[in-house]
Structure 1
Amino acid sequence: MTQRKDNSLSSISALIHPVVVLNISDQWTRARVQNEDPKMVCGAILGKQSGRDVEIWNSFELKSSIVESHLVLDEEYFVQRNLLYKETFAELEFLGFYVSGDHERVIEDDIYLQRQALQHNESPFLLKFNVFAPVISDKVSISVFDSSVDPVNENSLIFHSITVKIISEMAEQIGLDHVARYSKTNASAESTTSKQMAAQFGAINTFLQGIAVAKAYVKSVQLGQIEKDDYILKEINKLCFKLSVHSEKFAEQCSRDNLQTSDHKLLVLLSAFCSVQGAMFQLVEKGF
């Protein structure tokens, strides 16, 4: 069984959510604690594929063993786990396997994994995570490959590297920030994200206080309680135009649009909450 790596980039792009990286890191950490020199860890990746865009949402670890110097997965265990995940996350499909190791090259064990993945997916992907690579700025040592049959030799696979990008939604960012935060003894457990949000809230609150002062100033001038200052009134007028609230009709329309937007977001949030609640009930029934 042979393989060949094509140095050209595939036109397919892969988006990876942080939970996948955390799962692999956690699995490797536990394997390292239990075994001082673990060979490698592996598992399955789940996600969605639309045309040439692949989004990897989740992953789960698999049992493996070394047979005749080759990494072999427990097929029965994989099938059972995949079925359970399919029932819980029906919108996600099996995309391939992940394995720890040098992310810049494909080795023989990777070929065996890819051959096994071909039994469950016509065009699987292989994700490699180099756990030994030093961290350089914000660059993560992850590569994703797709494969195709060599037209010259049908027993050989050609691997193509795929453009990889780590993405995250706001909810994931907050959760990851709490997981990855560091604190000292007697230090606050507040995360970086919550601190940033608190700073933004403080800035907005200060701005609203300034608006209230400007409004009170204009009202006092109108009542003749204080002498008007043309420069201050000019600056307040500029601010009103920037805020686009000088028209009562526009203000009413803005309020109506905000109400519709809030209702829409509330419906989306309610739908997501019901979905999560249903998933939790399913997990409890399965004994997780």
Structure 2
Amino acid sequence: MASSSSSGLTFKLHPLVMVNISDHYTRVKNGEGGDSAAVKAPAPPPRVYGCVIGVQRGRTVEIFNSFELLYDSATDSLDRAFLLKKQELYKKVFPNFYVLGWYSTGSDAEESDMHIHKALMDINESPVYVLLNPAINHAQKDLPVTIYESEMHVIDGIPQLIFVNSSYTIETVEAERISVDHVAHLKPSDGGSAATQLAAHLTSIHSAIKMLNSRIRVLHHYLVAMQKGIYILFSQNRLNP
């Protein structure tokens, strides 16, 4: 798996894909916690799965976005019906994007990953595998993301499909740069935490919604009263022509 790709493809990865995978992993990891988690041995980090979508122009593969998939641990396979449904929905929103491959989390590609990889070859005959390592390593300077392709190599006289590393570059558009920069600087100037800023923002939204709700109720009561008044006036006109 340490081999380098010889396909000659150029990969461009957009930040939104990394944000999506990180968010997917964080939600699943936090969802596994419970009241009994403190008395149990630490569970191994979960793995999440999904598809990556984008475009291929000649020898350049550009990965723009991703969507989550369901994994069946009993069969070590992805939920095929769910995958096809999500693919159809995304095709309506992004008609120019195609399923380029899939993603998962972990420190390295595992042997079982090849089964998933092969299962996607009827959707894309040369799927790409994006692997994000969620483990925090402060000494690491490179992004914890590896892109794999699959190649047929002869090992001990037997042709085998193996994962090979592919180099990539980060590609961004203006909207992504603004969004990522905003997230990175989500901290108030007074030195408070991002959580404090978020709490203040949500409090102001809650107050605005309460005020809007009270005004809608006043308007509703007025309309109901006016409707009753019109009905009474109409009845009086019928009795006194």
Structure-1 residue corresponding to 2:47? 40
Which residue, out of 134, 146, 149, partners 1:146? 149
Question: Is 1:134 matched up with 2:137?
Answer: yes
1:129–1:142 contact (8 Å) kept in structure 2: yes
**Per-residue displacement from partner, 1:112-147 (whole Å, max 9, x unpaired)?**
110111121111111100011414565211111111
The one-letter amino acid of 1:8's match is S
2:51–2:99 contact (8 Å) kept in structure 1: yes
CA distance in 2, matches of 1:86, 1:187: 44
TM-score by length of 2: 0.68
TM-score by length of 1: 0.57
2:52–2:100 contact (8 Å) kept in structure 1: yes
Structure-2 residue corresponding to 1:59? 66
Q: Cα distance 1:57–1:79, how it changes in 2: closer, same or farther (>3 A)?
A: same
CA distance in 2, matches of 1:66, 1:137: 31
Higher helix share: 1
Question: Is 1:26 matched up with 2:15?
Answer: no
CA distance in 1, matches of 2:169, 2:130: 13
Identity fraction in percent: 31
CA distance in 2, matches of 1:98, 1:127: 5
The one-letter amino acid of 1:100's match is T
Structure-2 residue corresponding to 1:183? 187
Runs of 4+ in 1 over 6 A off after TM superposition: none
Structure-2 residue corresponding to 1:77? 82
CA distance in 2, matches of 1:98, 1:138: 22
Unaligned 5+ runs, structure 2: 34-42, 194-241
CA distance in 1, matches of 2:136, 2:191: 31
1:17–1:167 contact (8 Å) kept in structure 2: yes
Which residue, out of 106, 109, 112, partners 1:109? 112
Q: Cα distance 1:137–1:108, how it changes in 2: closer, same or farther (>3 A)?
A: closer
Structure-2 residue corresponding to 1:7? 3
Give the CA deviation at 1:185: 7.9
Give the CA deviation at 1:44: 0.2
The one-letter amino acid of 1:35's match is E
Q: Cα distance 1:17–1:136, how it changes in 2: closer, same or farther (>3 A)?
A: farther
CA distance in 2, matches of 1:182, 1:136: 24
